[in-house]
Amino acid sequence: MHIRKYGLAAALLSLALAAGCPQPHYEDEPAQVPFYPGERQGDVTLYRDLQFEDIPVPAQYVIIGDRSHSFQGSRFRTGVFHYDGPVDWREAVVFYRTQMPLSSWESVATESGPDFRLMRFRKGPEQLIAVVRDLGNGWSRAELQLDNVAKNDLLLRGELKSER
């Protein structure tokens, strides 16, 4: 009886896979998938652990892969990155304040707490929010969020018409 149940389940699973049911997956190599097919946005490339060259990261930081992701299309890019490392959080803040302008990022806002600093940078239509937190014992975490917020701000204010 058990063999019959498992055999049927295995057959159904094999049939579903053979029929080409879409399965979400991440690979080390990028995969091209359509983004708004037929519209002007182009393709989007899904990456795992992609780190953009113009977003500096302290050498001691290690990316937390299961909490980080990024997407890049022909006209946009976005991502969320989490890093931990043996860097005092105040040193990490100084790193971002000094290194981001070297990659043409302009500091537009900061907010501080007793054990964190939120920094907002802008570069063209893109915005990067960096939150550096103290983890104790000389360790810190950086949480970086990249988005095309400038365009979203214009849409909200009615200064730009949606392309959809």
Q: Name the burial class of residue 122, with classes exposed (0-12), middle (13-18) and buried (19+) by CB atoms within 10 angstroms of its CB.
A: middle
pLDDT at 34: 43
pLDDT at 108: 95
pLDDT at 65: 81
pLDDT at 148: 83
Residue whose structure tokens are 């917020």: 149
The pair of three-digit structure tokens given for residue 8, joined into one six-digit string: 């049927």
pLDDT at 43: 56
pLDDT at 112: 95
pLDDT tens string 54-99: 999 999 999 998 888 887 776 778 899 999 999 999 999 999 999 9
pTM: 0.66
Q: Which stretches of the chain score pLDDT less than 70?
A: 1-50, 74, 149-164
Residue 20 — φ and ψ, nearest 5°? Answer: 85, 35
The contacts of residue 45 (CB under 8 Å, 6+ apart) are: 30, 31, 32, 71, 72, 73
Distance CA 78, CA 154 (A): 18
For the chain, the domains span 24-157
pLDDT at 77: 83
Query: Which CATH fold topology does 24-157 show?
Result: TATA-Binding Protein (3.30.310)
Number of other CB atoms surrounding residue 126 within 10 Å: 20
